[in-house]
Amino acid sequence: MKKVILTVLILVLCMNLFAASVPANYPIKKLHTEISKLLEMPKFPLENAVTMAKVKFTLTTEGEIVVLSVETENNFVDSYVKNRLNYKKVSFKTTEPGKVFTVRLKILRR
């Protein structure tokens, strides 16, 4: 249980560190915050000390996330990200429907 909690904290921290480098009034920061909340509390085993994932997604005009791809070697991470993000609504509204966003995830096992 401690490993899962620590993994979640590291995941959120990594996403928040990236978002912290963006000015506070920049709308993308809010999107990163919402995505990190959607990805909290994973319940999958990690075989390696570090698992990387690159998530490509787009937003509909209604603010729904549509996951295009998850590039990772861990099937649990792939399924988890798709299940937690696909078709979830966020408050971020894009002015460019179809624009592809990319988020890099770094998940550490402790």
- For 52, the token pair is 């990387």
- At 28, is the pLDDT very low, low, confident or very high (cuts 50, 70, 90)? confident
Model confidence band, residue 30 (pLDDT cutoffs 50, 70, 90): confident
Look at residue 53 in the predicted model and tell me its pLDDT: 86
Structure token pair of residue 81: 């990200």
- List of E strands, 1-110: 50-59, 65-71, 100-108
Identify the band that residue 85 occupies on the pLDDT scale cut at 50, 70 and 90.
very high
Tens digits of residue pLDDT in 36-63: 888 877 766 667 666 788 999 999 988 8
The secondary structure of 6-27 as a DSSP string is HHHHHHHHHHHHHHHTS-TT-H
3-state helix, strand, coil in the chain (%, to 5): 40, 25, 35
State how far the Cα of 7 lies from the Cα of 44, in Å rounded to an integer.
Answer: 10
| Residue with more model confidence, 16 or 105 | 105
Q: Do residues 78 and 105 touch, judged by C-beta distance below 8 A?
A: no
Q: Which domains does the chain have, with CATH numbers?
A: 2-108 (3.30.2420)
